[in-house]
């Protein structure tokens, strides 16, 4: 009885240790996309929720309009596209993985200017009743803890998205400020130059060397 109880609690520790190590997630990473950039992530269990977001941080575009955005595709290990977004400058995504395996997340830049993408991918697993039934040492409380952790992860993901968007917004604002000052100074110079050219032209019209009383 004593030995069985000890091996039972050891099993519990093993299971919980396994669960502990599954807290896997990345912080927001940035990558520069020239043409196509792909990132691979391994999904351990079928039915896991893969969630994430990405924001395109514009490079300083001075003359042309805003970059139209990137194309984003997620391919399953079988090769078919699970999720795709076209021409966005940032979005959130979430889907249930149909099977386990290596998933491919690709960013495609249809234009020649390189863009920097800041992305965040999280794969969340909540042990369901099937896992509970398989292993009697898995407590329902572990399910609740996993659900809580997933909810907190979603808040963290949202914050990462907000931070990336805030960074892009700040870049736009700073570029606007620089442009405003530059264009205003240019306007002053052009104004002064135009009026002095006018004066010089009128003086020349009335100067004796051109022709006497031609005016």
Partner 1 sequence: MSKRFGIVVVLILGILSPLLVQSLRFDIQSGHTKCIAEDIKSNAMTVGKYSIVNPNEGHPLPESHKVTVRVTSTYGNNYHYGDNVQSGQYAFTAAEAGDYMACFYAIDHKPVTTITIDFEWKTGIAAKDWTNVAKKGQIDVMQLELKKLEDIVQSIHDEMFYLREREEEMQELNRATNSRMGWLSFLSLCICFSVAGLQLWHLKTFFERKKLL
Minimum distance of partner 1 from residue 80's CB (angstroms): 19
How many whole angstroms separate alpha carbon 39 and alpha carbon 42? 10
Tell which one of 59, 191, 204, 210 touches partner 1 (CB under 8 A).
191
**Binding residue count for partner 1, defined by CB under 8 A:** 67
DSSP labels for the chain? -HHHHHHHHHHHHHHHHHHHTT--BPPPEEEEESSEEEEEEEE-STTPEEEEEEEEE----SSS-----EEEEEE-TTS-EEEEEEEESEEEEEEE-SS-EEEEEEEE--SSS-EEEEEEEEEE----HHHHHH-TTS-HHHHHHHHHHHHHHHHHHHHHHHHHHHHHHHHHHHHHHHHHHHHHHHHHHHHHHHHHHHHHHHHHHH-TTT-TT--
Minimum distance of partner 1 from residue 95's CB (angstroms): 16
195 lies in the binding site for partner 1 (CB under 8 A): yes
Tell which one of 84, 101, 135, 162 touches partner 1 (CB under 8 A).
162
How many whole angstroms separate alpha carbon 122 and alpha carbon 52? 6
Tell which one of 13, 81, 113, 128 touches partner 1 (CB under 8 A).
13
26 lies in the binding site for partner 1 (CB under 8 A): yes
Are 109 and 36 within 8 A, CB to CB? yes
Q: Residues 75 to 104: which contact partner 1 by CB under 8 A? A: 102
36 lies in the binding site for partner 1 (CB under 8 A): no
Q: Residues 117 to 146: which contact partner 1 by CB under 8 A? A: 118, 121, 123, 141, 145
Tokens of 162: 């907000």
The stretch among 14-22, 65-73, 79-87, 128-136 that binds partner 1 (CB under 8 A) is 14-22
The stretch among 63-71, 78-86, 90-98, 195-203 that binds partner 1 (CB under 8 A) is 195-203
**Positions that interact with partner 1 (CB under 8 A):** 6, 9-10, 12-14, 16-32, 37-42, 44, 102, 116, 118, 121, 123, 141, 145, 148-149, 152-153, 155-156, 159, 162-163, 166-167, 169-170, 173-174, 176-177, 180-181, 184, 187-188, 191-192, 195, 198-199, 202-203, 206
């Amino acid at each position: 009885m004593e030995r069985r109880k000890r091996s039972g609690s050891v099993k519990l520790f093993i299971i919980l240790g396994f669960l502990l190590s599954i807290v896997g997630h990345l912080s927001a990473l940035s990558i520069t996309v020239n043409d196509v950039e792909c990132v691979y992530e391994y999904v351990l269990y079928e039915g896991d929720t893969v969630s994430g977001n990405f924001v395109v941080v514009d490079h300083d575009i001075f003359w042309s309009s805003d970059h139209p955005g990137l194309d984003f595709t997620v391919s399953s290990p079988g090769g078919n596209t699970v999720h795709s977004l076209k021409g966005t400058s940032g979005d959130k995504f979430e889907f249930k993985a149909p099977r386990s395996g290596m998933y491919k997340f690709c960013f495609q830049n249809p234009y020649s200017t390189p863009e920097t993408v800041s992305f965040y991918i999280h794969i969340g697993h909540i042990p369901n009743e099937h896992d509970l039934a398989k292993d009697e040492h898995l407590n329902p409380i572990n399910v609740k803890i996993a659900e809580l952790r997933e909810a907190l992860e979603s808040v963290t993901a949202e914050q990462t998205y907000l931070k990336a968007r805030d960074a892009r917004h700040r870049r736009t604002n700073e570029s606007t400020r620089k442009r405003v000052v530059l264009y205003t100074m240019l306007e002053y110079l052009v104004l002064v130059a135009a009026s002095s050219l006018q004066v010089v032209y009128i003086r020349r019209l009335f100067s004796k060397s051109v022709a006497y009383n031609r005016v």
